[in-house]
Structure 1
Amino acid sequence: MNDTVSAPNTPRGKIMLVGLGPGSNAHLTARARAAIAEADTIIGYVTYIRLVADLVVGKEVIKKSMTEELDRAIEAFDRARQGKKVALVSSGDAGVYGMAGPTFEVLFQAGWTPDSDIEVEIIPGASALNTCAALVGAPLTHDFCAISLSDLLTPWPTIARRLDAVAYSDFVVALYNPKSGRRTRQIVEAQRLFLRHRRPDTPVAIVKSAYRPKQRIEFTTLDKMAESDIGMLSTVLIGNSNTFIRHGLMVTPRGYRNKYDVESGATHDGEKAGRSLSTGLDGWLAGLHASGHSTAELAREHRLPEDYIAALLAEPLAADDTQTDEIEA
C-alpha cells in the first residue's frame, strides 16, 4: 500500500466516491448513475449496494460490513492501482459522514497526490439532512448544524460539548446515528442537554428510512423525543426557538417578520429593504455604546462572553455604525 506507481502500460485507475442520496432511484443524480455505469468495481456497505442492485449487474461487487470503512477504502485503492475504475458508494453524500474522508486518509498515507496515477472524483448526493427536511416541511430555512451521536470514533465528552453549544446557540439540529441496538442512552443524554436550553415543547421530527419502502415520519416534542421509535436509519430534526408545526409541516421562519409585514410586504418602521436590521451589527453596536449598562449586564442580557462585550465597548464607533438613513442600492 506504499507504492502508488502503476506498472508500465497499466491504464490510469480511478476512484469515484459516489453519494447515492436517500437510496431511491428517483433521487439518484445523473452523474451518480453514470459513475456506477462507468465503474468496473462497486464497493460499499451491503445495504448501500442493495439500494443500487439493478445498476451493478455484471460488475465486480465487493460488499463490506458497517464498521469496515477503512477496509472499503483500502479495497478501492488496491483496485485503482490495478488500473480499474472503482465506484465507492455511500448513502446520502459521500462527504457527509461518508466515505470521502477515510478514503483520503488511506490515499494520503500511501503517498497519493492529485498528480498521481489514480484519479479521484467526489460525486455529491443529497444527505439525510436534506432529504428528511424535504419530507417534513422547511425546518432548515434558518441556521442549522448536524451532529452524529455515534461515539464509536468520537469521545462522548466531545459530542456532549457540541450538543450543549448548539442547543444554547439556538441552532436547528439534525442528529445523525441517534440510536442503535447497543447505543441506546446517547439520544437520552442529547435530550437532557437540549432541555437545559430549549423549551420542552420544542418541535421535533423523526424520519426513518427516508424515500425508502419502510419510510416513517413522526412529529413529537423535545420532552417526548426519547420515547419515539428511533434507530440507526433515523434522522432526528430538532427545531429552534421559532420553529413550529402546522398542518403536518415543520417550518423554521427565516426572519422576514423582523423586517416586513408578511401580508403586505411593507417594511416595519425603522427598517429598510436590502439593509441590515436596526438590530443588526451596526445598530446593535450603537445600542451597546448608548445603553449606559455595565459590561457584565450587557453580557447577561445578550448571552455573550463578557470579554467580547468589553472589547466592543473599548472600540470607537465607526462613522456609519450610527447611520440610520442609508440609501438602498
Structure 2
Amino acid sequence: MKKLLPYILILIVLASFVVPAHFSLAFTCTTAPTCQPPSVLTSDGCSCTYVLLSPLPNTNGETLNTFDPTGEGGGALGGYLNLMIKLFIGICAVLAVIMIVMGGIQYMTTELISSKEEGRKRITGAILGLLLALGAYTLLFTINPDLLNTDLESLEDVTVVVDLGGESPDPFVAISKTALQSFGITKCTGSGGKSAVAGIGQQFVGKTTYSQATGKRNTINSSIITLDCSAFVAQVYSCAGLSYTGGNTNEMFGSGATAVNGTTYDFSQLHSGDLVGWKKGDKGGGKVETNGHVAIYLGNGQILDTQSGGTAVRQLDSIKNRITYVKWP
C-alpha cells in the first residue's frame, strides 16, 4: 500500500487539473446562434439576449435593459446551470485530492493499526466518492448527452392572452354632466376637445366598476359608475365635447380608423387622446380575440382604459402586440 500510494496521489492530482480543463474547453463558443426578435445577438456573438419591454432598476442604481434566459452567454440561465454541473465535478475532484492527501499523511505518520486503518478508509472513501461523481456524469452522458444540457431554447413558446372583458349589447347613453360632476368628475363640462380627454379620463380612476351585463352599462349610483371599455371612451369623448365615435369597438374602429400591426407600429406618432385597440375576431396577438377592446392613448407609453378591474392608467406594452387599429378624433 505504501508503494502504491505515491502513484495514486500523482494520478489524482493530474485528474484534478485535466477534468476542469476539459469542462472549460467544452464551454467555448463555436458557432453563433440565430436570434428571434425581440432577442438580439450579444456582443461576443455566442448567445442571444432578450430585450426587456420596459427597463428594470438594478441594485447598483443602473437599469437592466436585456436578459438572456436561454443561451450560454453572459447572464444566461441555461449557461449558468450547465457551468454549475461542470464546476460540481471539478469541486468533487479537488475535495477528493484533499481527503486522499490527509488520509495518506495519517497512514504514513502513525504506527497505530487503528489510525492506519482510518487513513486507509479515508483514502478509499475519497476515491469512491470521486468515481461516483465522475461515473454519474459519464453514465448520463452515455445515455443521452442532452440530459446534461440545460438548454432552455428547446422549450416551446407559449402565448398567454388575457381576456380584458367584453362589451354590453346595450346602446350607449351618456351619463349627464351634472351627475358626473357631483361624483367628483369636475372636468366633464362638454368642452375642451381632444386636449381635455386625458384629464377627464383620469378623473374616472377609482370611481368605476366593469360590467357587460344588460341594463348596467353607463349607469351611476351613489357609490360607483358602471362602464365597459367602449362606454368609458364614448363617455369621456362626450365630456370633452368631441364628436360621437361609436358605442362599441366595431363602430369605433370602423370608419376613420387605421389598421396597424401593433408589434411594428410606431406609437410615438400618436398624441394624447387618440384611440388604440382591436375588434372582436382580430388576431393581433396571434390568437383570435374573443372580445374587442379600446383604450385612450395618454402618451409616454401609457394608456387609460376600463377593464375587469375598473378604470386605470396602464402601460401600452401590456396590450401593444394585440393592437390592430388606431384612431384619432
TM over 0.5: no
Q: Looking at both structures, which has the greater relative contact order when contacts are Cα pairs under 8 Å and sequence separation is at least 6?
A: 1
Structure with higher helix content:
2
What TM bracket, shorter-length normalisation? under 0.3
Question: TM-score if structure 2 supplies the norm length?
Answer: 0.19
Question: TM-score if structure 1 supplies the norm length?
Answer: 0.19
